[in-house]
Chain A
Amino acid sequence: DVKVTQSSRYLVKRTGEKVFLECVQDMDHENMFWYRQDPGLGLRLIYFSYDVKMKEKGDIPEGYSVSREKKERFSLILESASTNQTSMYLCASSLYLGDNTEAFFGQGTRLTVV
């Protein structure tokens, strides 16, 4: 079974802090994604990566950056956390671009910025 692991379930950070959310997948998937989930807004794509060191902006990239130095690891970075970034963050992976396979999700990180 594919496993996508996010480093933290819950995080509390202060406004202005630099925040790192880590995600690791163990099935050699090419694609990795970061979403944020807010009530009534569904899942919104922040960034995705289709290969090592490759990244593309999703629908809401402002205030975020990402890093993918190794195939299995995809990091989301909040350069200067703000209270409007309080949310549930979900990492996902899928096999490769153009495929018809489903995405596999991590358990989520609930981030609170105070």
Chain B
Amino acid sequence: AQSVAQPEDQVNVAEGNPLTVKCTYSVSGNPYLFWYVQYPNRGLQFLLKYITGDNLVKGSYGFEAEFNKSQTSFHLKKPSALVSDSALYFCAVRDYNTNAGKSTFGDGTTLTVKP
């Protein structure tokens, strides 16, 4: 079975400060890991993914995430937050050995960036 945990329902940061949105995962095999963002009344948009290789992954809008196999984590980060980054963020995992095609999503973290 595969699962994802986003331990924080809400993250609040001031504009210009660094931000981190946490994600931990559990898979029986090897993970594909994804981050998506959802703006109000919209579908999800892909931000970045980890497949293999370099543990630091860079994605859209200046976001990056670090894959940590020993801690089974894939935290989303940005060096300097913008008010426009305020949105709902989802982490997702897919075990490519046993669950081909199906991703499991976390419950989501609401990021609020204040001016």
Q: Interface of A with B (CB < 8 Å)?
A: 4, 31, 35, 40-43, 45, 48, 50, 58, 90, 92, 94, 96-100, 102-108, 110
Contact = CB atoms under 8 A, between A and B. Distances in A.
Chain B at the A interface: mostly helix, strand, loop or mixed? loop
Contact of B51 (A58, A100, A104): A100
A58 B2 CA distance: 13
B46 A104 contact: yes
A42 B44 contact: no
Given A4-B43, A90-B44, A103 B103 contact: yes
B101 A106 contact: no
Contacts of A105: 36, 43-45
Interface in B45-64: 45-46, 49, 51
B102 interface: yes
A42 B110 CA distance: 11
A98 B49 CA distance: 15
B25 to A, nearest CB: 13
B44 A40 contact: no
Given A100-B49, A106-B43, A41 B107 contact: yes
Contacts of B45: 105
Contacts of B46: 102-104
A18 to B, nearest CB: 25
Nearest to B105: A43
- Which of A100, A106, A108 has the most chain B CB atoms inside 10 A of its CB? A100
